[in-house]
Amino acid sequence: MPNMETENSSVSRAEELKALANEAFRAKKYSQAIDLYSQAIELNSQNAVYYANRAFAHTKLEEYGSAIQDASKAIEIDPRYPKGYYRRGAAYLAMGKFKEALKDFQQVKKLSPNDPDAAQKVKECEKAVKKLKFEEAIAVPESERHSVADSIDYRSIGMSPSSSFVSTQAAILAATATVVVAVVVMVWPAVATTVAGMVVAVLMILGAYWWGSCSGSGVFTKSRKLELEVEPQYSGARIEGDVITLDFVKKMMDDFKNQKCLHKRYAFQIVLQTREMLRALPSLVDIDIPDGKHFTVCGDVHGQFYDLLNIFELNGLPSEENPYLFNGDFVDRGSFSVEVILTLFAFKCMCPSAIYLSRGNHESKSMNKIYGFEGEVRSKLSETFVELFAEVFCFLPLAHVLNQKVFVVHGGLFSVDGVKLSDIKAIDRFCEPPEEGLMCELLWSDPQPLPGRGPSKRGVGLSFGADVTKRFLQDNSLDLVVRSHEVKDEGYEIEHDGKLITVFSAPNYCDQMGNKGAFIRFEAPTLKPNIVTFAAVPHPDVKPMAYANNFLRMFQ
């Protein structure tokens, strides 16, 4: 009898904790919700709902590996619980694992045949899988691929095929051809078909010629190097010659602030010039900060352009006297990613020592395809830019070292001890991030409070403890690790006995997390970190993920 009373008491208390966890979740306090769901699970480990709810909270914190584990446990407890499959499918989807997601959503539909939401998600997921298979089928082998940059001469970029412009000669010829066809049909019906066919062929050739000359990537691009002027009515920022100046960058940022676009010709120039600079850099960049000078490190910006402007308002524009390092994840989620990346690249072109850029896990095709950057680039620029950015992202360095003391990386440390800075410098980074190995771990890993190493809560990379951080610093005669990659309520967090700092520079992340942003100023020679926090600023009414994968937006 006492055992039954104790058991009933535990179940009752677990339900109370679940209710508190649900309240925390609604208040967007996802870490607190996870803790409360965990307490409920300790009291009643056979309740599938607790695991599914905790999986949802993990998903909100982008801890997709942990979400999959919890959802799988919910399914194990109750194989007929639809929400378990739903939560796991959503986590697989967020990781770009469409085939696995489809299986789970099909199971949801099977268990809930009358649920229109489940049917819609199966339909959308099937589309995503078909598209993925098609892309795999037409993919060109790596050895046969050519750089898209080789086909672009920004000095020859003028009108785009999306504009209403057609050359006068082409318009006159097309009109004449139409009249000829009409006359032939009326006067000589017997030869009308032949003549009409010839006219159609001529018009198709003209169309191809116009498209190629306008897009900068068509079949006539290489043979026709006509210098096309930027349209006279264009009133935006202009680059005079090959030199990108501070005046240009300021004008461009002001235009972006007012939601105006930069002409594609200048966008090509910025990206192509940045490409050449990044390609020449090693995978690990050493930065020397002279005594008496300072240096600023920023974390994830994630397409939050107006918060980027606020950083510059608080801390000054990048310059040789006020240098910055932006530590990856410049794009995705926020819907002003094009404005962010062109601004950072423009400052790099203006003065290479004014700004340093490190690759994050979101500077990759797989992430950009899902989380909005690819769609945004296609909308604001063109398909050619999608390919070009993907290539340039592969040229970004993987890590930086400040004055041989501070190691700065987007993600974290490694699954093995003994990794030296020379090993990082030797990484062949000119590729999409692999799913394992040093490069993957640099971009994806996270610190954990426990010593040793553990599985990644994200499902990629690993979690590492203070002892791992300490050994890495000792092996490389370093003092501190600075990384980003994780939302923090205060914009930063100091961990691992003060030897590791996470800095995150996207306040109120995705317009819903309520977190502060932060950046770190280091003063030489001591390089003592001075952390500055800041709140989010207003932005135009364009929601985060506005350009994201349609299917993923269904879960927002």
- Alpha-carbon distance 229 to 441, whole Å? 46
- DSSP characters over 77-98: H-TT-HHHHHHHHHHHHHTT-H
Tally of residues, the chain = 556
Task: Point out the catalytic residue in the list 58, 263, 302, 362.
Answer: 362
| DSSP letter, residue 260 | P
Q: Which residues pair with 355 in a beta bridge?
A: 324
User: 243: part of which helix (H) or strand (E)?
Assistant: none
**Where do runs of H (alpha helix) occur along 61-161?**
64-77, 82-94, 98-111, 116-138
- Contact of 312 with 489, CB cutoff 8 Å: no
| DSSP letter, residue 319 | B
| DSSP letter, residue 497 | G
| DSSP letter, residue 519 | E
Q: Burial, 175: exposed, middle or buried (Cβ in 10 Å; 0-12, 13-18, 19+)?
A: exposed
Query: Who contacts 52 (Cβ-Cβ below 8 Å, separation ≥6)?
Result: 70, 71, 74, 81, 83, 84, 86, 87
- Alpha-carbon distance 556 to 550, whole Å? 10
Which residue, among 446, 434, 454, 463, has the nearest Cα to 409 in the 3D structure?
446
- DSSP characters over 17-55: HHHHHHHHHHTT-HHHHHHHHHHHHHH-TT-HHHHHHHH
User: 326: part of which helix (H) or strand (E)?
Assistant: strand 324-326
Centre a 10 Å sphere on the Cβ of residue 260 and count the other Cβ atoms it contains: 12
Query: Who contacts 515 (Cβ-Cβ below 8 Å, separation ≥6)?
Result: 487, 488, 489, 490, 491, 504, 507, 508, 509
| DSSP letter, residue 488 | -
Please provide the distance, in angstroms rounded to a whole number, between the alpha carbons at the two ends of the chain: 47
Helix axes 82-94, 116-138, angle to 10 degrees: 30
Question: For residue 525, is the peptide bond before it cis, meaning its omega torsion is within 30 degrees of 0?
Answer: yes
Q: Is 362 a catalytic residue?
A: yes
| DSSP letter, residue 509 | G
Pairing label, strands 500-503, 462-464 = unpaired
Catalytic residues: 362
